[in-house]
Amino acid sequence: MSSRFSERRQSPRIPLDGVVQCRLDLRTRVRMLDISLSGSLLAAELPLPAGAAAEFRSALGAVAFRTEVQIQRTVALTAGALSNGIGAVFTTMDERSRRSLEEFLRKASQ
């Protein structure tokens, strides 16, 4: 590092050589493009890698909806802030969210 930069750290960093695993939860704007009983296509600001797990929270009608998802694929959408298409499959959800989803899909298909 060049001597023109002054050290700003209050304490030294210790290299870990990859021995400590961690998880970084990020929040990003997401718009739901479609939904089924098994998953959803989302438009997001950030791309997510296939295989990544995430928590998805929304409202379907007036009822809260929460599920864990696994990212199946990411595709490019048209240019814009939400230009990453994300195919997500629902992995776990509570009974309330399952009923909310089923009711929402029933009403939407009529």
pLDDT score at 103: 92
The answer to whether residue 16 is domain-embedded is no
Q: Which domain holds residue 103?
A: 30-108
- Give the type of residue at 68: E
Q: Give the CA-trace dihedral at 43, 48, 51, 55, to 10 degrees.
A: -70
CATH of the domain at 68: 2.40.10.220
Confidence of residue 105 (pLDDT cuts 50, 70, 90): very high
Checking if the pLDDT of 1 tops 70, the result is no
The answer to whether residue 45 is domain-embedded is yes
Short-list 71, 62, 61, CA closest to 40 = 71
The answer to whether residue 22 is domain-embedded is no
- Give the type of residue at 52: A
Q: What angle do CA 53, 56, 61 make, to 5 degrees?
A: 160
Checking if the pLDDT of 87 tops 90, the result is yes
Q: Give the C-alpha separation, 41 to 101, whole Å.
A: 15
Checking if the pLDDT of 60 tops 80, the result is yes
Q: What is the mean pLDDT of residues 28-49?
A: 91
Global pTM reads 0.74
